Chains A and B, each alone.
Chain A
Amino acid sequence: MVAEIPPSNIEAAFVLDALQKNIRVDGRGIYDYRALRISCGPAPGMVEVQLGQTRVLARVSCEVTRPAPERPTEGIVLFSCELGSMAAPGLESGGGGGPRASAQEVAVSRMIERIIRQSRAIDTEALCIMAGIKVWTMRIDLHFLDHSGNLVDAAAVATIAALRHFRRPDVTVDGETAIIHDPRDRNPVPLSIHHTPVCVSFAFLGAAGDLVVLDPSLLEEQTQAAAFTITLNAHREICALNKAGGVPLDASQIGRCMQVAVAKSDELIDAINAALGLNKS
């Protein structure tokens, strides 16, 4: 099957021409985010995020396993990212990071892993049931359903919202025995999440990368000269910065992006809280 066809020269030139007059092809302002819709449930840890036309489904699940021998008191967190032919024609999923994974799939899954695992958003020690014997293994499955630009931001919102929405079975440990309670006997408990990191992505267009847009659409992503993703949490702490390749950018642009990202990350976190809050009542 044919791989994704890049936009024609005329299309790309049209995007740039319009941007030079401060107009985006989809009618948004330069620093406008597309409409974000977060739907939680019905199952715990099931969240679908729609960012414009981009759609991501996140599923969080858990099981009891043996811990890694070098970290006997820590639970395990696994990620599986699937950017397959459902999202866009010609894409092929490596099936959760297999050898056939496309560069884009690897890039998105690495980014999500970085912001959740390496910013220590999940308290892995709280996932320990009995040191060295039994721990919880959390599994986060990300399914991309529709790819129309900015997968990373949508995936980050879906992942952290799903983790906060998830409830694991309650466990009581009594000496050598652990009892895992059926959800019908005892209310499942939420995970211990330290903070809520969210991504805010920018695309730089034009030969020198001097035209900046927030939340790039697919067409903008395909014509971009460089991309920049800022990951922030509710305390306005930077969890990750990512500018992989592309044209060199002016340092002052990064500062401006940072100010925009701070404001947008607040909005994203508010949206996540609202979606989770509505779900509780």
Chain B
Amino acid sequence: MSRPDRREHEQIRALNCVLGQLTRTDGSAQFSSGSTSLICGIYGPIEAKLYEEKIDRAHIDVKLRPAIGLPATKDKWAESAVRKTFERNILGHLHPRTLVQINLQVKENDGSVDAAAINATALALVDAGIPLRAMVAAASCAVRKDGEIVVDPVEEEIKKAMSTHTFAFSSNSPDDNPVYVDSRGSFTMDQYDRCFDLCAMTVQRILAFMRTAIEGKVAKESQISAV
């Protein structure tokens, strides 16, 4: 059975990103995977509110706004996914008593938004120059009713899926240790392992894409500063 957009099972949608589009933020990135698209704007390190100030590290605040309507439970869930992925990854102890504010705006939701949110945030953090332990990227896959596993599912596939899985990996984890795992639905251990491997492989491709994007931006900027 083929996929709604006629992709191969292991094929991801076309990736696209634009760094540093926004002027008022300290760093920003737009990340899109096919028609799923988000824009992320980051301020940091900035002054924290008294009640959220932490004496030994930076406070990480994530706000995600859906494209249509007001933030609902699933948007809060995506916020927490981003926060938990990056809380350990941002070198917060270098900026104690400050705030790193991550603003995410979904432009178009066509499946795998949680993974795209993590990817957009990773790129925006680099653009903002926030010190990170490593690069992080995420990928999603879905187990269909016929047992086939599809990578980077669209909304239609997620609705019909038996289970969906999102994994995030960092670029320096030694044995492919995930930094974020989210599995929903009913699945067997064997299916989980296959999803894990597929996502780990996909994340490597996304990390390579991010690297090219950042290298391109750095090359452009160093050209300007050389002139």
A contacts, CB < 8 Å to B: 1-2, 42-43, 46, 48, 53, 55, 57, 59, 61, 80, 82, 84-89, 93, 95-96, 139, 141, 143, 145-148
Contact A59 B24 (CB under 8 A): no
CB under 8 Å from chain A, chain B span 3-25: 21-25
The smallest beta-carbon distance between B37 and chain A, in angstroms, is 9
Given the contacts A1-B48, A55-B22, A145-B22, A85 and B103 also touching, CB distance less than 8 Å: yes
In the assembled complex, 21 residue pairs joining A and B whose CB atoms fall closer than 8 Å, in A order, are A2-B46, A2-B47, A43-B35, A43-B108, A46-B107, A53-B23, A57-B105, A61-B68, A80-B69, A80-B70, A85-B43, A85-B103, A86-B22, A89-B43, A89-B46, A93-B65, A143-B67, A145-B22, A145-B41, A146-B23, A148-B24
| Interface: B71 (CB within 8 A) | yes
CA distance A145 to B35 in the complex (A): 19
The reply to whether the CB of B49 lies closer than 8 angstroms to some CB of chain A is yes
Given A145-B39, A148-B23, also A86-B46 (CB < 8 A):
no
Q: Tell me how many residues of B have a C-beta within 8 Å of chain A.
A: 26
Nearest chain A CB to B7 CB, angstrom units: 17
Interface residues of B in 90-104 (CB under 8 A from A): 99, 101, 103
Give Cα A143 to B99, complex, Å.
Answer: 23
B57: Cβ under 8 A from any A Cβ? no
Name the one of B39, B70, B103 contacting A96, with C-beta atoms under 8 angstroms: B70
Contact in complex: A143, B101 (CB < 8 Å)? no
Contact A84 B24 (CB under 8 A): no
Contact A59 B67 (CB under 8 A): yes
> Whole-angstrom distance between the alpha carbons of A89 and B61 in the complex?
13
Return chain A residues, CB-CB under 8 Å to B23: 53, 146, 148
Please name all residues of chain A whose beta carbon is closer than 8 Å to the beta carbon of B99 when the two chains form the complex: 1
Using Cβ atoms and an 8 Å threshold, which residues of chain A touch B43? 85, 89
- Asked if A85 contacts B68 (CB within 8 A), the reply is no
Which 3 pairs of residues, A with B, have the shortest CB-CB distance?
Answer: A86-B103, A53-B23, A61-B68
Given A43, A46, A89, A141, which contacts B24 in the complex, CB threshold below 8 Å?
Answer: A89
Chain A residues whose C-beta falls within 8 Å of the C-beta of B41 in the assembled complex: 85-86, 145
CB within 8 A of A42: which of B35, B63, B68, B105? B35
Q: Interface code B62-87, partner A: CB below 8 Å = 1, 0 otherwise?
A: 01010111110000000000000000
Contact for A85 among B63, B107, B108, CB less than 8 A:
B63
With A1-B99, A46-B107, A85-B103 as known contacts, state yes or no: A59 contacts B47, CB within 8 Å. Answer: no
A87 touches B108 (CB 8 A): no
In contact, B46 and A59 (Cβ under 8 angstroms): no
Q: Which residues of A contact B101 (CB under 8 A)?
A: 1, 85
Determine the residue in chain B with the shortest Cβ distance to A2. Answer: B47
Interface pair B108/A46, CB less than 8 Å apart: yes
Residue of A nearest to B37 (CB): A42
A147 to chain B, nearest CB (A): 6
| Chain B residues closer than 8 Å to A46, beta-carbon distance | 67, 107-108
Name which of A84, A88, A145, A146 has the most chain B CB atoms within 10 A of its CB. A145
CA A143 to CA B105, docked complex, whole Å: 8
Q: B residues within 8 A CB of A86?
A: 22, 25, 39, 41, 63, 65, 103, 105
Is the pair B68, A141 in contact by a Cβ cutoff of 8 Å? yes
Assess whether A143 is in contact with B47, with CB atoms less than 8 Å apart: no
Residues of B within 8 A of A148 (CB): 23-24
CB nearest to A4 among chain B residues: B24
Q: A93 to nearest B CB, angstroms?
A: 8
Task: Enumerate chain A residues within 8 angstroms of B24, measured Cβ to Cβ.
Answer: 87-89, 146-148
Within the assembled complex, what's the spacing in Å between the Cα atoms of A95 and B72?
11
Query: Once the chains bind, are A1 and B49 in contact (CB under 8 Å)?
Result: yes
CA of A93 to CA of B24 in the docked complex: distance in angstroms?
16
In the complex where A53-B23, A86-B41 touch, is A141 in contact with B69 (Cβ < 8 A)?
A: yes
A145 to B107, CA, bound (A): 11
Most chain B beta-carbon contacts within 10 A, residue among A86, A87, A89: A86
Q: Interface digits, B104-147 against A, CB 8 Å rule (1 contact, 0 not)?
A: 01011000000000000000000000000000000000000000
Q: Which residues of B contact A85 (CB under 8 A)?
A: 41, 43, 63, 101, 103
Closest CB-CB distance, B106 to chain A, in whole Å? Answer: 9
Smallest distance from the beta carbon of B95 to chain A beta carbons, Å?
A: 15
